[in-house]
Amino acid sequence: MKTGAVLGLVIAVMSLLSFFWTPHDCYSMEPGSRFLSPGARHLLGTDNFGRDIFSRIMTGGRNSLLLALCTVACAATTGSILGTLAGYLGGITERIIMRMTDTVSSFPGIVLALLFVAVMGNGQFTLFIALFVLFIPSYIRVMRTGAMRYKNSTFVEAEKILGAGKARITFVHILPNLAPPLLSASALGLSNAILAEAAMSYLGMGIQPPEPSWGRMLYEAQNYFFTAPWAAIAPGMCIMLAVVSFHLLGDGIRRRFGG
């Protein structure tokens, strides 16, 4: 857990710093500086357009993390409400919510993403919508399971005796007790969102040039791997470290709090 938290913090600080400062302009092309190896002036070297890779890594991390955070926050909020209602209320409410969940889950992720791209076009907003829809079912299932575990507990029965309504019991008493599994699922969701964004950008369906993206950087560098390996290694390592860090963090939360 500590390792994941430290790695995640380093990536987050580096990405947030790009709002205010980068060593070079990440959009500036210098044909005379193509494929410079890592050194004092360009810490991670330059790419096929002479752009500073470290600056683009920082800005690409910002774009990836913002998209992942927005996706997970919206999916977790929506999934928490629906999942808690399904688990506590049961009956027709649960059946409707879970049938909708199963329907969305039945579509392969790449097919659903392609559908959104075909309807809405390439871009960051399209990718957000696609990932948002894809991630909701996992949060619904997590929260439904937790709500079912607590719905017949002593403190819920006590609230019923005191006259508390279903809405109060659901959102004031049950939902806060599901914070540990929600935090664990959210950290794992960040890991999955970063990986999904990188994969979709690599395929050309995510963040579009000239905006930097780790996945897009990897795609642009693949043809030059044997002449300038640093151009591909840098974004590849960032994707790996980001995914591993949030996965370790989520797993650590689950182990510590029993989520």
Is residue 192 included in any domain, yes or no? yes
Is residue 87 included in any domain, yes or no? yes
> Residue 70: which domain range?
2-8+53-257
Is residue 47 included in any domain, yes or no? no
Is residue 45 included in any domain, yes or no? no
Tokens of 256: 């510590």
Is residue 154 included in any domain, yes or no? yes
pLDDT in tens, the chain (259 residues): 677 788 888 888 988 898 888 888 888 888 888 888 898 888 899 998 889 999 999 999 998 899 999 999 999 999 998 998 888 888 898 899 999 998 888 877 777 777 877 788 777 888 888 889 889 999 999 988 888 887 777 777 787 777 777 777 777 777 788 888 888 889 889 999 999 889 888 888 878 888 888 999 999 898 888 888 999 999 999 999 999 999 888 888 877 776 5
Number of domains in the chain: 1
Do the Cβ atoms of 185 and 143 come closer than 8 Å?
Answer: no
Q: To the nearest 10°, the Cα dihedral for 93, 94, 99, 104? A: 100
At residue 25, φ and ψ (nearest 5 deg) are -70, 120
CATH number (domain holding residue 57): 1.10.3720.10
Separation CA 106–CA 156 (nearest Å): 34
User: What pLDDT is recorded for position 259?
Assistant: 52
Separation CA 58–CA 67 (nearest Å): 14
Is residue 133 included in any domain, yes or no? yes
Is residue 31 included in any domain, yes or no? no
